[in-house]
Structure 1
Amino acid sequence: MTPVRTVPTADLDAAERAALRDLLDLAFDGGFADEDWDHALGGLHLTVHEGGRPIAHAAVVQRRLLLDGRTLRCGYVEAVAVHPGHRRRGLGGAVMAAAERVVDRAHHLGALSASDDGLALYRARGWRLWDGPTAVLAPSGVTLTPEDDGSVFTWGLSGGGSGPLVCDWRDGDVW
């Protein structure tokens, strides 16, 4: 069993935050933007360490989703990554299991936006692809996000809805 550390952002010191950001930059091959990092902050970090350095990471942050007139407290999973030299050892599954436990115990549902590289992991773990439209509660009102349709997964949400799944507004990628 791989030990996973759970720590709130507020309890990460500057060196730990820098090491996590370095891991994410490496794992995403330079495609991890400042907005992506900002999205991963403010919640819980689930990490695996080896030799004092993080080698796997996921974050769960709270967001509000709207569905069929209901406001849902969502544990949104961000910044799932495994160091390239440590892949295929079950570390992604270990941090996702810890993230799912957080979602199950503290939120109405979980959600995430999957990269192509993450699809197999999330499907294998039982995350369900949202098959309806997606939208964001933008400053101008509810706005459909067709570019995100087909990439949003949910956890603990039985069935779809009659309307779009709507996320709260944020800078950068809204999903």
Structure 2
Amino acid sequence: MTEAHPTTPRVTDVRLAHTSDLDAATLKAARTLLYDVFDDMTAEDWEHALGGLHTLVYEEGDLIGHASLVQRRLLHAGRALRCGYVEGVGVRADRRGSGHGAAMMHALERVVRGGYDLGALGASDEAASFYAARGWQLWRGRSWALTPDGIQRTADEDGCIYVLPTAAAPLNLDTDLTCDWRDGDVW
């Protein structure tokens, strides 16, 4: 295999597919990519990324980026909102800064705007400015989780939750937001 000349553009392919449409090899490649990108990736984190839509970025046939969108319910202002929740956003280290993350998010944001009351995600400190620049807004209110033992405070998540409002549901970013239950990190 020959290396591409530095000025030769690489052929990039962005795919959007449901978990059920991905074969075992693709799912394994996506999981491996995310484990390489995140030092603290867990089995629960991977599970959270399944069951919805995946955006996959390939260059020259190699998987270099992954992001997924799963449906969750968030409670806000007395309503259960249908949320497109973003999970597992990662780009291979040597391909960052080339617009791949933006391409994946663009595809998922289109789905959020067309099919959900809002989008939401938990952002790391390093990624917060990326999401904010795309129009995601920091949730300034308190965070909670609807657990098997009732509603419990998730204060450690305050300041890390970002939402993408849509026309479907008015939001007050300064009030409480409660997520549905799941194993592992609830947000």
Shorter-chain TM-score tier: over 0.9
Distance 2:62 2:114 in 1: 28
Residue aligning to 2:123: 114
**1:173 has 2:185 as partner:** yes
- Aligned with residue 57 of structure 1, among 66, 79, 88: 66
Q: Quick check: 1:111–1:154 contact (8 Å CA) kept in 2?
A: yes
Q: Quick check: 1:67–1:161 contact (8 Å CA) kept in 2?
A: no
Distance 2:74 2:81 in 1: 5
Structure 1 segments of 4 or more deviating over 3 A? Answer: none
Alignment of 1:90-169 (within 5 A): 90-156=99-165, 158-160=170-172, 163-169=175-181
**1:10 has 2:20 as partner:** yes
Residue aligning to 1:87: 96
Alignment-mate amino acid for residue 186 of structure 2: V
3-state SS of the aligned residue for 1:116?
coil
**TM-score for the superposition, normalised by structure 1:** 0.95
Residue aligning to 2:55: 46
Distance 2:43 2:174 in 1: 35
Residue aligning to 2:42: 33
Q: Deviations over 1:62-105 (max 9, x none)?
A: 00000011010000000000000100101111101111011011
Q: Percent identity?
A: 51
Q: Quick check: 1:68–1:161 contact (8 Å CA) kept in 2?
A: no
Deviation at 1:53, TM superposition (A): 2.1
Distance 2:142 2:12 in 1: 37
Residues paired across the two proteins, number: 174
Whose radius of gyration is greater, 1 or 2?
2
**TM-score for the superposition, normalised by structure 2:** 0.89
Distance 1:106 1:82 in 2: 25
Deviation at 1:120, TM superposition (A): 1.6
Unaligned residue ranges in structure 2 (runs of 5+) = 1-10
Q: Quick check: 1:131–1:160 contact (8 Å CA) kept in 2?
A: no
